[in-house]
Structure 1
Amino acid sequence: MHDLTGFQRDLLYTIAGLDEPKGLAIKDELEDYYQKEIHHGRLYPNLDTLVDKGLVEKGQMDRRTNFYTLTRRGRREIGDRGEWQAQYIDTSA
């Protein structure tokens, strides 16, 4: 996960939090978070990168609509990232 952009990591977390989301559902979630429009030209190439890296699987709902799910590796990478972050965060404050 160290070689992903922040946007790509946010895509992973968003996909993890939704049930087989379509691209537009992911786009809507990220637009709410970023509070600005996410263009298709940014979204779909980054989703494809995550698929190519083996972190996300892309399935087909119909001829025009794809859905996305995390692979086992994608879930493991998120867990590892969480453990790495936790060592730097003092939750007792």
Structure 2
Amino acid sequence: MYDLTGFQRDLLYVIAGLDDPHGLAIKDELEDYYESEIHHGRLYPNLDTLVDKGLVEKGELDRRTNFYTLTRRGRREIDARQEWEAEYVDQMETAEASS
């Protein structure tokens, strides 16, 4: 996951938290989080990058709508990232408690 942008990591987290979301559902979640508009020209190329990297699978609901799901690799990458983050957050909390 080290080679992903922050936006791509956020896409992974949103996809992980929703049941087979379509692009507009992902866009809506990110717009709520970022408190600004996410343009299609930013969203879909980044989703395609995650598909190309094997972190996300893209399926077709109908001719106009795709849905996205995490692959096993995508889930492992999120788990590894959360463990890495927890290591540093735990250290920070320990340091603050001892101050």
**TM interval, short-chain normalised:** over 0.9
For residues 63 and 41 of structure 2, the distance between their equivalents in structure 1, rounded to whole angstroms, comes to 20
Tell me what 2:60 maps to.
60
Scaled by the length of structure 1, the TM-score of the pair is: 0.97
For residues 33 and 86 of structure 1, the distance between their equivalents in structure 2, rounded to whole angstroms, comes to 21
Tell me what 1:12 maps to.
12
Tell me what 1:47 maps to.
47
For residues 89 and 63 of structure 1, the distance between their equivalents in structure 2, rounded to whole angstroms, comes to 44
- The list of structure 1 runs, each at least 4 consecutive aligned residues, that deviate by more than 4 angstroms after superposition, is none
Unaligned runs of 5+ in 1: none
Structure number with bigger Rg: 2
Q: How many residues align?
A: 93
Tell me what 1:23 maps to.
23
Between the aligned residues of both structures, percent identity stands at: 83
Unaligned runs of 5+ in 2: none
Q: Give the structure with the larger helix fraction.
A: 2
Tell me the secondary structure at the aligned position of residue 3 of structure 1: coil
For residues 85 and 65 of structure 1, the distance between their equivalents in structure 2, rounded to whole angstroms, comes to 34
For residues 87 and 16 of structure 1, the distance between their equivalents in structure 2, rounded to whole angstroms, comes to 21
**1:61: how far off?**
0.2
Map Cα deviations across residues 3-57 of structure 1 (whole Å, 9 max, x no partner).
Answer: 0000000000000000000000000000000000000000000000000000000
